Amino acid sequence: MKAPDLSGAPNLEKMILGGGTKLKHIHLSIGDLTKLIQLDLSDCTSLKGLPITLFGISSLQYGNLTRGDVHNGFADHLFAAFHRNGTIAFRDDKSLKQGQHIYTELMETIESSKVLIVIFSNNYATSSWCLQELAKMLECRTKVAAPNLLPICYDVSPFEVRRQKGVYEMAFAKHEERLKHDLEMVQQ
């Protein structure tokens, strides 16, 4: 199953395709939706990839993609789509060389990026590295030439992320316990 040509609906603000388990392809015309704010593709388990035109929508504020492993599925498709389009993309889990000053390189890469994509997953908040990267991304948004920040929820409810409930609540409780002597880090 394919999503239809969307070029005739340029004023569409919300696109809810969640539960479309037979949906395999999104039409390239999704890039014509200049007013799209919300895209929900939750439970679209047959989706083969995302068209690169999706990442040109500057109005997009929220994406929800659920089910599957982030690094062996969605993130791979996203990274491959950028590569096919000739876009230089940085991915912290594969782009770093051993022996480099990882933290410094990560922060410099975040600071120099024009677009930042955060893929919130079930395990995202359990990683103090991911949370430090997110804090840096949010810090960069306060600057004059702030990068676009696109949050994507993958296999986790946006409610859990926003309100720090469920797996996010448990992960933050563990971080607070582990870092109880470093209040600055906890606040970050």
Give the side-chain half-sphere CA count within 13 A for 88: 4
The confidence score (pLDDT) of residue 72 equals 53
User: At 23, phi and psi to the nearest 5?
Assistant: -70, 120
Three-state SS letters, the chain? CECCCCCCCCCCCEEECCCCCCCCECCHHHHHCCCCCEEECCCCCCCCCCCHHHHHCCCCCEEECCCCCHHHHHHHHHHHHHHHCCCCCCCCCCCCCCCCCHHHHHHHHHHHCCEEEEEECCCHHHCHHHHHHHHHHHHHCCCCCCCEEEEEECCCCHHHHHHCCCHHHHHHHHHHHHCCCCHHHHHC
Q: Give the residue numbers marked as catalytic.
A: 133
The confidence score (pLDDT) of residue 20 equals 65
Cβ atoms 93, 71 nearer than 8 A: yes
For the record, the structure tokens of 164 come out as: 């720090």
Write down the pTM of the prediction.
0.58
Low-confidence ranges of the chain (pLDDT < 50): 67-71, 94-100
For the record, the structure tokens of 43 come out as: 């439970």
Q: Which CATH number fits the domain 14-187, given the four candidates 3.40.50.10140, 3.90.1150.10, 3.20.20.70, 3.40.50.720?
A: 3.40.50.10140
